[in-house]
A = this chain, B = another copy of it.
């Protein structure tokens, strides 16, 4: 669902070929949203079949021929209505559904010391991830679209929140031995 609109959104800006779409994901949203060819090419095929995009073949300079896709009228329409209407429904929730949380749920079967060890290692990893996001955010000043920059900032803020949570839990467990 989401990928379909992501692709339409990029094609609504200008025509792209498949490889290039993947590139744009890696470059601008890579840390946040990466896609595989196994997802991308079938999505392009489906959009083509449903008439939301059109295809033109261009000789390749460096490698194989490029399949350059452009958005059609109906494609533009459905992208616009996704962009404009879906915020009204407002189903967007913040979720903490991730595998680490699930693992954490079962930590009550481990010794407190073992848990503290795991949590402090996780704290370190999150700290590193945070630093790299922070750096990306600072480096992007002035040369990045304000929306894209805000997304990186969002990452920084949530990583900081995760650090805060881990620190809190470590404190709680340290002062409340089973």
Give A contacts to B, CB under 8 Å.
1-2, 5-6, 9, 12, 28-29, 32-33, 82-84, 86-87, 90, 92-110, 118, 121-122, 125-126, 129, 145-148, 150-151, 153-155, 157-162, 164-165, 168-169, 172-173, 176
Contact = CB atoms under 8 A, between A and B. Distances in A.
A95 B78 CA distance: 27
Contacts of A96: 32, 151, 154-155, 158
Nearest to A162: B94
Nearest to A92: B100
Given A108-B145, A129-B93, A146-B173, A102 B157 contact: no
B161 A125 contact: no
